[in-house]
A and B are shown apart, each in its own frame.
Chain A
Amino acid sequence: MSDYISHDHEHDGIDRRGFLQCMAWAGTGLLWTISGGVLASRTLAEIAKAGGSLPAATDLSFLQISDSHIGFSKEANKDVTETFKIALDRINAMPTPPAFLIHTGDITQLSKPEEFDTFDEVLKSCRTKDVFYVPGEHDVLNDGGKLYRDRYLKSVEAKGSGWYSFNKNGVHFIGLVNVLNLQAGGLGQLGDDQLEWLEDDVKGLGADTPIVVFAHIPLWAVYPQWGWGTSDSERALGYLKRFGSVTVLNGHIHQVLQKVEGNVTFHTAMSTAFPQPAPGTAPSPGPMKVPAEQLRSLLGLTNVQYKQGKSALAVVDSNLS
């Protein structure tokens, strides 16, 4: 699928598909508004233009980057290393640097050591040095994730195939792995061992502890026909039901989608490499080719802010154009 106009009957530069896509994005904006305070929509550029720092009362600000796919060089983006660099430049340009980055997987295209090397080398230009990772299916292709784990879990106490948790500013962060041991015909999967660990991990926490869960494949049924969901995510969310604020950050689908369900806000991030089609709008979820001048508007990163005393976190997406 592409964003080229295929049926321009009114000669107004928009066809039915384009119009529906616009509406889909407008709908996303509306959702942000009605969820009042849960999500705010301000781009990094706007924050930078305001000239000052981030709102003074912001106690914690971190950044989510996702799906850098280093090594991909097809038509949808022949230079993913460059767009990854641009994303890092945006982070470096923020008046107040984020406390840390979260990378929600698909660091590489093919799990090759040289792809990981390139990623690590480029990442050195980022002013923010702390990065927390979860793997995407592209990072664990041929070795069950060994290479990934050797490189990216040094600063955490990872369990099993690489899941872990940590605390920052009173917020409890949980990094989950749902791209390994996938079953024929199924979706993303956490597995019994990880779920038991999760139940135990949050047991001692007060219900007022803000929770941030991050994993590669969405932890909600975005579009199971394309495998965009996690088969046992309901069980995971069951353990988090009693908490007043749960923010779930995912990648994998290369576009911003969100859903608010009770106290849980689900959010998917843009890729820094290439866009993917909206659910069901193409024969398959493969890389979406768009005109070169549109590409950067469909790539981006996500800023998340936690303000002490407010239970909900503000999740702000911005593109690279």
Chain B
Amino acid sequence: MITLISKNKMAALLCGIVFLNLSLLAFAGEMKDAGTSAHENQIEIKDFAFNPKTLTVKSGEKVTWINRDEEPHTIVSVEKQFKKSTALDTDQEFTITAGAPGTYNYFCSVHPKMTGTIVVEK
């Protein structure tokens, strides 16, 4: 069974905790990147589109979406392969860790014309 671990960094109700959490994550991320080759798997949401539309990553890597629109967007797996994000407001992020190799199609459930694909390689 394919699993992806998801974490919405901007859970609104837990602002204080999330803030702390974020700083820890950022810190941890920096430490990790310093020791290994950095992979910045970022998908920018702009003008109602995911850029890049298809992103290829290695299993275990993190993938982060960041919303640059003034509209809220979501990231929802078409086949429910990973936990969906809550609505991301401007500049909010959503991160998952890529699980088993495979093709993961996703879309924005608010604007379903917006679709994208994550290809996870071994």
Interface residues, chain A, with chain B CB atoms under 8 Å away: 72, 74-76, 109-112, 137-138, 141-142, 182-187, 225-227, 283-287
Contact in complex: A184, B89 (CB < 8 Å): no
Interface residues, chain B, with chain A CB atoms under 8 Å away: 12, 47-49, 69-72, 74, 76, 78, 86-87, 89-90, 105-107, 109-113, 115
Residues of A within 8 A of B70 (CB): 72, 74-76, 286-287
Nearest residue (CB) in A for B112 is A182
Q: In the complex, A176→B55 CA distance in Å?
A: 37
Contact in complex: A110, B89 (CB < 8 Å): yes
Residues of A within 8 A of B76 (CB): 184
A-B contact pairs, 15 of them (CB 8 A): A110-B87, A111-B87, A137-B110, A137-B111, A141-B86, A182-B110, A183-B112, A184-B76, A184-B112, A185-B115, A187-B112, A227-B113, A284-B49, A285-B48, A286-B47
Contact in complex: B87, A142 (CB < 8 Å): yes
Nearest residue (CB) in A for B116 is A184
Residues of B within 8 A of A227 (CB): 111-113
Residues of A within 8 A of B111 (CB): 137, 227
Please judge, given known A-B contacts A185-B112, A185-B115, whether A284 and B48 are in contact too, CB under 8 Å: yes
Apart from A76-B70, A286-B69: 5 A-B pairs, beta carbons within 8 A: A141-B74, A141-B86, A185-B113, A284-B49, A286-B70
Give the contacting residue for A109; candidates B69, B72, B106; CB below 8 A.
B72
Residues of A within 8 A of B110 (CB): 137-138, 141, 182
Contact in complex: B112, A142 (CB < 8 Å): no
The winner among B12, B87, B90, B107 for most chain A CB atoms within 10 A is B87
What is the minimal beta-carbon distance from A110 to any residue of chain B, in angstroms? 6
Residues of B within 8 A of A182 (CB): 109-110, 112
Residues of A within 8 A of B89 (CB): 110
Q: In the complex, A91→B12 CA distance in Å?
A: 35
What is the minimal beta-carbon distance from A281 to any residue of chain B, in angstroms? 13
What is the minimal beta-carbon distance from A74 to any residue of chain B, in angstroms? 5
Q: In the complex, A287→B69 CA distance in Å?
A: 9
Q: In the complex, A245→B86 CA distance in Å?
A: 41
Nearest residue (CB) in B for A75 is B70
Q: In the complex, A225→B12 CA distance in Å?
A: 32
Nearest residue (CB) in B for A141 is B87
